[in-house]
C-alpha cells in the first residue's frame, strides 16, 4: 500500500497529528485526546499499535505505520460546518441532533435548538470518541460524527455588486 503521508513523531503538530490520533483511537489505541500535538501519550499509543502489527515499535509514524493504519492519503479536509454550542439554533442544529439520534446519543426532539439535552448528548459523544469534552461542536466533532459538509446542497450564487442570494 502506497501512502502520501509524511513521517511524524514526538514534537509534530497539526492536522496530520489529529488524523493520526483519530485513527489510533478508532482502532482501540487511545492517544488520550485528539488535540493535534504528538506528545508522549500519542507516542505510547503508536508504540502499542506498532507492536500489535509487528512493526518496528519506535513511536515514529512512517509509511509502514500509516499503511498498517489503512491511511493512504493524509490530506486533511476541514469540515465546512460552523462551530455550534449551547444557545445555537437552526437547521445546522437539526443536522447535529439527527446524527446524534442516529448514533444513539440524543433522545430529545429534533427541534433545531441546542439546549441542555443536546449539550449532554454532544458531551457524551465527545467522551466516547476521545475528543476534547467541551460541548462545542467544532471541526473535530463534526468529522467524528461523519459530517464534512453542512451546506446541505445549498449553493451560494454571487451576483454583480456583491449581492448574494441562496438557491434551494
- 95 in Cβ contact with 150 (< 8 Å): yes
Question: Is position 74 within any domain?
Answer: no
Q: Are both 107 and 147 inside the same structural domain?
A: yes
Average pLDDT over residues 109-137: 93
The span from the CA of 71 to the CA of 107, in Å, is 34
For 147, the grid coordinates are 459530517
> Comparing 128 with 166, which gets the higher pLDDT?
128
- Output phi, psi for 107, to 5 deg: -115, 0
What is the pLDDT confidence band of residue 3, given thresholds at 50, 70 and 90? low
Helices 15-26, 40-52: inter-axial angle, 10-degree rounding: 50
Give the H/E segment covering residue 101: helix 91-102
Q: Are both 64 and 83 inside the same structural domain?
A: no
Task: Quote the domain boundaries for residue 19.
Answer: 15-69
pLDDT tens for each residue of 40-57: 999 999 999 999 999 999
Q: Are both 47 and 103 inside the same structural domain?
A: no
CATH label of the domain that carries residue 139: 1.10.101.10
pTM for the whole structure: 0.51
- Output phi, psi for 163, to 5 deg: -80, 140
Q: Are both 159 and 91 inside the same structural domain?
A: yes
Average pLDDT over residues 110-135: 94
Count of domains forming the chain: 2
Q: Are both 86 and 62 inside the same structural domain?
A: no
Residue with grid cell 493535534, as numbered in its chain? 36
Q: Are both 143 and 162 inside the same structural domain?
A: yes
- Above 90 in pLDDT, residue 101? yes
- Output phi, psi for 151, to 5 deg: -85, -10
- Above 60 in pLDDT, residue 165? no
Distances in Å between the Cα of 34 and the Cα atoms of 20, 22, 94, 96 are 9, 6, 25, 20
Amino acid at each position: 500500500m502506497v501512502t502520501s503521508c509524511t513521517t511524524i513523531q514526538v514534537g509534530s503538530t497539526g492536522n496530520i497529528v489529529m488524523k493520526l490520533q483519530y485513527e489510533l483511537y478508532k482502532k482501540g489505541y487511545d492517544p488520550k485526546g485528539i488535540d493535534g500535538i504528538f506528545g508522549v501519550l500519542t507516542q505510547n499509543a503508536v508504540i502499542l499499535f506498532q507492536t500489535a502489527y509487528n512493526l518496528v515499535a519506535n513511536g515514529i509514524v512512517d509509511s509502514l505505520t500509516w499503511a498498517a493504519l489503512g491511511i493512504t492519503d493524509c490530506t486533511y479536509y476541514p469540515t465546512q460546518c460552523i462551530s455550534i454550542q449551547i444557545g445555537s439554533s437552526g437547521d445546522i442544529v437539526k443536522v447535529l441532533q439527527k446524527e446524534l439520534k442516529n448514533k444513539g446519543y440524543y433522545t430529545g426532539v429534533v427541534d433545531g435548538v441546542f439546549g441542555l439535552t443536546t449539550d449532554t448528548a454532544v458531551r457524551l459523544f465527545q467522551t466516547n470518541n476521545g475528543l476534547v469534552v467541551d460541548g462545542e461542536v467544532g471541526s473535530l466533532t463534526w468529522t467524528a460524527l461523519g459530517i464534512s459538509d453542512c451546506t446541505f446542497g445549498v449553493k451560494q450564487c454571487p451576483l454583480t455588486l456583491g449581492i448574494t442570494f441562496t438557491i434551494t
